Amino acid sequence: LDHCEVDVGILLNVGADHNYENGGKQAYVDAKKKLLKIAKQVIVNRDDNICVEMAKSSSGPCLYCGTHRDSDVCLEVQGNKLFMAWDEESGELDLRIQGVYNHMNAVAAISALRVLSYTLAEILPHTSVLQLHEGRMHQVLLGGLTCGSVYATAPDALEGCLGLLSLPF
């Protein structure tokens, strides 16, 4: 990213999933901090304390998204329904994908679109078509058995996947 102009950077979490290929946790955090320096606007997961702390080093303005009530873009879970609110705008988020981490990915992406001047009224009607990449929490039918395929490269990712096994795909 050294030679790229970044309009919107997104800081979702600091987990163990990319520590190895970045040379350890501190190197991973340092790599993410580079994004905070070059992005004109940063979207930060308000629910992740490490991200909130890292955002203090951002050279641009930060927008916070998450379930925390102090978030600029707030995700609210009411039973099995999801709602988003941003200033005076609000609406239902119709996601057909399961998992808190997937919901946060969607909220961060919607926040980026919102920063780029799209309204929630323009964005939310399209959320029902979002799908996971093949192999990420998909239902597979094999010889009369229903199996779930997962993709998890770190303990926190595996924990998120396993937490969904009791849910219908």
> To 10 degrees, what angle do helices 155-162 and 100-115 make?
110
With contact defined as beta carbons under 8 Å apart, do 66 and 74 qualify? yes
Query: What confidence score (pLDDT) does residue 19 get?
Result: 59
Specify the length of the chain in residues: 169
Bridge partners of 141? 146
Phi and psi of 128, rounded to 5°?
-70, -15
pLDDT (0 to 100) of residue 116:
92
Cα separation, 169 vs 13, in Å, equals 24
Say if CB 97 and CB 107 are below 8 A apart.
no
**8 Å CB contact between 56 and 49:** no
Is the pTM value of this prediction over 0.85? no
One pLDDT digit (tens) per residue for the chain, 169 residues:
778 889 999 998 877 666 556 667 788 778 788 888 889 999 999 999 989 999 998 888 999 999 988 899 999 988 888 898 888 889 998 887 777 778 888 899 999 998 999 999 999 999 888 776 665 555 666 677 766 655 555 566 556 555 655 544 4
In the numeric block, the tokens 């951002």 are attached to 58
Do 12 and 28 form a contact (C-beta atoms < 8 A)? no
Determine the pLDDT at residue 1.
72
Contact 9, 35 (CB under 8 A): yes
- Give the pLDDT score at 47: 93
Identify the three-state secondary structure at position 39.
strand
